[in-house]
Structure 1
Amino acid sequence: MIAGVLLAAGAGRRFGAPKALVRLYDRPLVAWAAAALGGCDVVVVVLGAAAERVRGLVGPDGLVVVNPDWAGGMGSSLRAGLAAVPAEAEAAVVLTVDTPGIPRAAVERVAGGATPASLARATWDGVPGHPVVLGRDHWAGVRAVARGDVGARAYLRGREVRGVECGDLGWGVDVDTPADLDRLVELMRGGDG
């Protein structure tokens, strides 16, 4: 079993609104991310800011977890998400809500063949990004270092992480500001961003 873990708890301070609620082509970013994880056996959606408003956008298949410490940063949301993954899962595919240019095909490519020992991440034209695959053997170590706005980065540093190129499938652009969203729209329309 492969679980998806969607981190969607932030307030989106730089954006000016919770990014889970931001719309791209009249679809909220949380819906884009949930669709990207749609091939996973279960999807854990970690909410925080505006949780009740976002919950209704998740869909019936998402296992919603509300992180009471969401304001403390992505680390606490990653810990909450991993804690909610069913015991039979061999690996978790972690995706952030602010990467709507990442399609399901990229998630499937990165997660392909995942085992409890796996560490893998997408690269976008050679630049590491999301999604990140964390095999179950690594969860305790990730939870131990995931603090503040640092998710698994500190854990992955210095370890052998399989890079999986996905630049031919979509765009790994982080949407942190309205200008970033405009840039992604331009890329999706075939511009050079």
Structure 2
Amino acid sequence: MIPILILAAGTSSRMRGADKLSMMVGGQPLLRRIAMQAAAVGDTFVALKHRAAERLALLDGLPITPLLVPEAAEGQSGTLRGAVAQLPPCPAFMMVLADLPLITSDDLAAVLAARDANPDALIWRGAAPDGTPGHPVLFDASLRPAFADLSGDDGGASVVRPLRARTILVPFTDDRAVFDLDTPEAWAAFNG
């Protein structure tokens, strides 16, 4: 079993009071949409901290496991450290940001398939057509201890950066691996 971890513990600070994870995409709140895509592929865990009750309500009825991550108050590194520690034993684990509106279950499955096709790699990740790395990101379980040492605002970059030579990129047909919506203006343009 390879768990899929959705990172949904952030503050949406650039949204000036609104919660981007409750914004509508295709008639559904963004967080619910990404959770449905993930749950169609595998066991899905959702890291929560800020607005946890509201966000959990968006997931009502879905086959997901919520993970309350107090460390998320420290930022993305804290979220990663706290959430990865709560995942069950597994041969690998996948992470996906909750604010990627166009990621599909087929994208998640394609990154999982890349692991089978390239078993000597340690990281497999979605990418834009030009090779810009994005999400989802699949990590070999041997990297799990490195997440216990994360701190600061670097997120998982300190784990990923030294392993470029052992990373397999899975280019998608458009920029959906890197396309997120962080501001009211970006949402207005997306929905316009």
TM-score tier after normalising by the smaller chain length: 0.7 to 0.9
Alignment-derived partner of residue 9 in structure 2: 9
Identity %: 26
Equivalent of 1:175, from 177, 181, 184?
181
1:102 aligns with 2:103: yes
Equivalent of 1:73, from 72, 75, 98?
75
The offset of 1:169, in angstroms, is 8.8
SS in 2 for 1:82: helix
Written as runs of structure 1 = structure 2, the 5 A alignment for 1:84-99 is 84-87=86-89, 89-99=90-100
Higher mean C-alpha displacement, 130-139 vs 106-115: 106-115
Alignment-derived partner of residue 189 in structure 1: none
**Partner amino acid, structure 1, of 2:26:** Y
What do you get for the CA RMSD once the two structures are aligned?
Answer: 2.2
The offset of 1:92, in angstroms, is 1.1
Written as runs of structure 1 = structure 2, the 5 A alignment for 1:3-152 is 3-16=3-16, 17-58=18-59, 59-87=61-89, 89-112=90-113, 114=115, 118-125=122-129, 126-144=131-149, 146-152=150-156
Q: Distance in 1 between matches of 2:120 and 2:5?
A: 15
The offset of 1:24, in angstroms, is 2.2
Q: Distance in 2 between matches of 1:148 and 1:20?
A: 23
TM-score by length of 1: 0.85
Alignment-derived partner of residue 165 in structure 1: 171
Q: Distance in 1 between matches of 2:58 and 2:45?
A: 14
Structure 2, unmatched stretches of 5+, are: none
Q: Distance in 2 between matches of 1:149 and 1:18?
A: 21
CA contact (8 A) 1:3 1:44 kept: yes
CA deviation map 1:33-84 (0-9, x unaligned): 1122124431110111110111122243111011123231111111222122
Higher helix share: 2
Q: Distance in 2 between matches of 1:45 and 1:116?
A: 28
SS in 2 for 1:14: helix
Judged with a 3 Å threshold, the aligned counterparts in structure 2 of structure 1 residues 185 and 143 are, in CA distance, closer, same or farther, namely farther
TM-score by length of 2: 0.85
Structure 1, unmatched stretches of 5+, are: 187-193
CA contact (8 A) 1:45 1:64 kept: yes
Q: Distance in 2 between matches of 1:113 and 1:163?
A: 8
CA contact (8 A) 1:70 1:76 kept: yes
Q: Distance in 2 between matches of 1:181 and 1:39?
A: 26
Judged with a 3 Å threshold, the aligned counterparts in structure 2 of structure 1 residues 27 and 72 are, in CA distance, closer, same or farther, namely same
